[in-house]
Amino acid sequence: MSIKLVKEAKVGQPIHRNGISIFPLVYGGKRPNGAAIADESLQVSELDTGASVPELQVHNPGSTDLLIPAGRVLEGGRQTRTVNVSILVPAGATIIIPVSCVEAGRWSGGSTFRDSKRMASRSMRMSKGRSVKTNIENYGTKNSNQGEVWNAISEELTTRHLTSDSSLFLDAAGSIENDQELSDLVSNLLGTGPAEGQTGVVVAYGDKIAGLELFTNPDDLRASWEALVNSIVFDSPVQESDESSVIDVVAIEAFLADIANQEGTVAKGTGLGSEFHVANERYVAHALVDDSGSLLHAYAFAAI
């Protein structure tokens, strides 16, 4: 179930930019009737009972179930957070969701949050995914190892020779806007946009497959495209142009099949549906399926 469904995605021809190869995925599954990716209608806040670092409160005021993808960075509140797992919030429901702090040096401000249009970095999501799986198995919680998350942010800032008064991940992620080459690359990829019917991507840097992000519906990918593009460029270790990547469609199909064969841990969804978690020496992966077993969102990262 769940992660095995990624092998059903069809792989298209890639686009190559500055040593980055982005392969389009088309997944033909179905999502719950009327469900949509979370937008500004989702109300995100600190808990009514008092702010808590590893938890936030979300309220879905509409008549449509809303999907929050794992890794989304929510800006505001008493400190900026990132979502630990993918969540389908039922229509009309208020629920508590597991998050990690990505701003160690601030504990002040208001209660409400907004979507930053950024995803947590690959290194942060891998670290977070490993500890979440461990905590599900050992304690029945979906908390991350917060110290490891902060260490990942510190490394992102240090390697880019950046400082941040509050150790805010968004200060690192936003640094690509000050690099003309990277900024132009982001603009180019945003302009290229997902192809018709595309629901996901597999990303390779040079000759290394880095990971995948897969939705069920093209609307979900389009709504996530800005955040994904920024994340892909931010995570890239390659700056020089390389139009002759040795990665081809056959290699991507083998990667999807390998991900699908990984053993993992099943957990009840934070909202609706069920989760699947993989964390081993080769991969960190996560998938959310609805109550009928249809895939809603999946990601996977390879240890490269």
The SS3 of residue 176 is: helix
The pLDDT tens digits for 119-159 are 999 999 999 999 999 999 999 999 999 999 999 999 999 99
Is residue 238 over pLDDT 80? no
Q: Are 215 and 224 in contact (CB under 8 A)?
A: yes
Identify the pLDDT of residue 48.
95
Q: How far from chain centre, in Å, is Cα 173?
A: 14
**Rounded to whole angstroms, how far apart are CA atoms 28 and 256?**
15
Average pLDDT in the 257-261 region?
A: 97
Cα Rg of the chain, angstroms: 18
Written as six digits, the tokens of 66 are 């809303």
The SS3 of residue 7 is: helix
Q: Are 124 and 152 in contact (CB under 8 A)?
A: yes
Average pLDDT, the chain: 93
Return the beta strands (E) in 113-162 as ranges.
Answer: 113-119
**Rounded to whole angstroms, how far apart are CA atoms 220 and 215?**
6
The pLDDT tens digits for 174-227 are 999 999 999 999 999 999 989 999 999 999 999 999 999 999 999 999 999 999
**Rounded to whole angstroms, how far apart are CA atoms 289 and 295?**
4
Nearest CA-CA partner of 296 in 114, 70, 44: 70
Q: pLDDT class for 237, splitting at 50, 70, 90? A: confident
Q: How far apart, in Å, do the first and last CA atoms of the chain sit?
A: 26
Average pLDDT in the 4-11 region?
A: 95
Q: pLDDT class for 83, splitting at 50, 70, 90? A: very high
Is the whole-model pTM more than 0.75?
A: yes
Written as six digits, the tokens of 58 are 């979300």
Nearest CA-CA partner of 213 in 200, 226, 231, 230: 200
Is residue 245 over pLDDT 70? no
Identify the pLDDT of residue 240.
53
Identify the pLDDT of residue 88.
97
| Per-domain residue ranges of the chain | 2-302
Identify the pLDDT of residue 189.
94
Q: How many CB atoms lie within 10 A of CB 267?
A: 17
Average pLDDT in the 225-230 region?
A: 97
**Rounded to whole angstroms, how far apart are CA atoms 51 and 41?**
21
**Rounded to whole angstroms, how far apart are CA atoms 30 and 255?**
23
The pLDDT tens digits for 263-289 are 999 999 999 999 999 999 999 999 999
Average pLDDT in the 245-254 region?
A: 89
Average pLDDT in the 67-84 region?
A: 98
Written as six digits, the tokens of 163 are 């400082």
Identify the pLDDT of residue 92.
97
